[in-house]
Structure 1
Amino acid sequence: MDIRQLARGSVEWVRIERVVRTLAERYDLEDVRVEFLEADNWLSTPCVINDEYFVKIVSRQNALVHGVLTTGRNVGAFSSGTEGFFDRFDTPLQMVEHEFEATERMRGVGLNVPRPIDAFEVNGLGVLVLEYLPAFRTLDELEDGELLEYAPTLFDMLETLHDHGLAHGDLRAENVLLRDGELYFIDATSVDADRISETAAYDLACALAILEPRTGARDAVYAAASVYDAETLLSARSFLDFIRLRPDHEFDSTQLRSELEKMADLNS
């Protein structure tokens, strides 16, 4: 069994049926079609209802795994020279309520995100309901040239997020979608609202880590420099080694650090 499937666990069918019945009652659905998604994640059982609602079902097991991952991330942040800034949740309901609120805030500042619809609890399970976005591609599905074309837009979106005192906190290629020529953020995690300078630097470092293997370090940094000043660019350096240790990022941190320092020198 895949380690992610083992960690995520499985939700009993009778409990899933209760969630589906609750959704049908809440949204007056007579015919309900459920498609479960083969998503490679640790933290929910995702499905689509009637090609209209994207639903995450979060169990107690998911919440426990989230707590373990959060502890690891905070240790990694500490190793980068700062206190941990990732928040953890004790219950499935807290997890879905946070993602609902984070998505709502991002939408409120003008960023493209799926429309948040609902967050509630059914039989100990957290249930998050978002607008379903069909026909999208994630960043890792784009051609290299296409990815480079959208890189400045990615950094523009991050700057908007940070200018409003928000952060994504879990920026990976699969958490940025391209649909109808527009980029969308999904799956924001919870970070300390009082630590925006560190969380902004972390988001920036994650974005560079996404781009570097596909565009090269220089083009990735040039794209970031079209949006960020030299001081902000340099702030991303301290998180590169920590991010490189994560299994969802593979990139050359040495090359990125070198290009960041060169760009900062040019702009100083």
Structure 2
Amino acid sequence: MRSHSVHSQTLLKLEERVLKKTVPQLPLLPEYGRGSWLYDESGNRYLDFFTGHGVMCLGHAHPALTEAMIGQIHKLVHTGNHFHLEPRIRLAVRLSELADGGQVFFSNSGAEIVELAIKLCRRRKRGNPRPTIVCMRGSFHGRTYGALSATRQREYKRRLGPFLPGFVEVPFNDPEALNRAMTHHTAGVLIEPVLGEGGVIPATRDYLALARELCTRTGALLVFDEIQTGLGRTGEMFACRRYRVRPDVLLLGKALGGGLPLSALITHPEAASLLGLGDHGST
């Protein structure tokens, strides 16, 4: 990594004083990006394999995306969700079409949309005194408390408990363990079709097909967290298409906003009807 200029060193010292760091940072201060490249103030360029945690799927400063963002900013930035907005309607229609029908809920981040999925699952078994959600060992679903309770990686949970009850962990791609975990208490099964932070491990088709069968049998919701794998990351629009297994609930984020805070949950009308006015919201 090239040495920092005096200006960059001053900025980094200022950052050290006023910003609390909770994640490790690379020794790079990019000034702008184009396509797959980042550039510093001296014009040095760096091939960006990081892509903002997988957010910048079209690269930096993509002309079409930039034009759409600037055009909308000049017209209307924010109203809250109590108004009907044409861009939101058109995006929901497009996502519904891509997902072969269904209803869409938008939020600001992947973790927030996982929270809504947890609500849907629990509401599905609202008459059950001990509803559970089956999660995969090594999974990652976000940093809010519900999403973190579903996340099955100890390093993200150190000294932060107690967590929400009702989450059952099973080894990934283990059909027998999944079979044993599924009971009449099971409200949902939460799966990344490709285990992301757990090692980029694809699920087997038989495993996802079994999850579909067991959820149908027990009345649980099958939730695919495609916040990382969705929108073309696996060569299909959604990873579940490669497996020919249809979830009840599909979660999208990251690439969906192209750098802006946006996530979505898509589900069939029956599951969507589990939530009424006031049951969930997002500014």
TM value normalised by structure 1: 0.31
**More helix per residue:** 1
TM value normalised by structure 2: 0.29
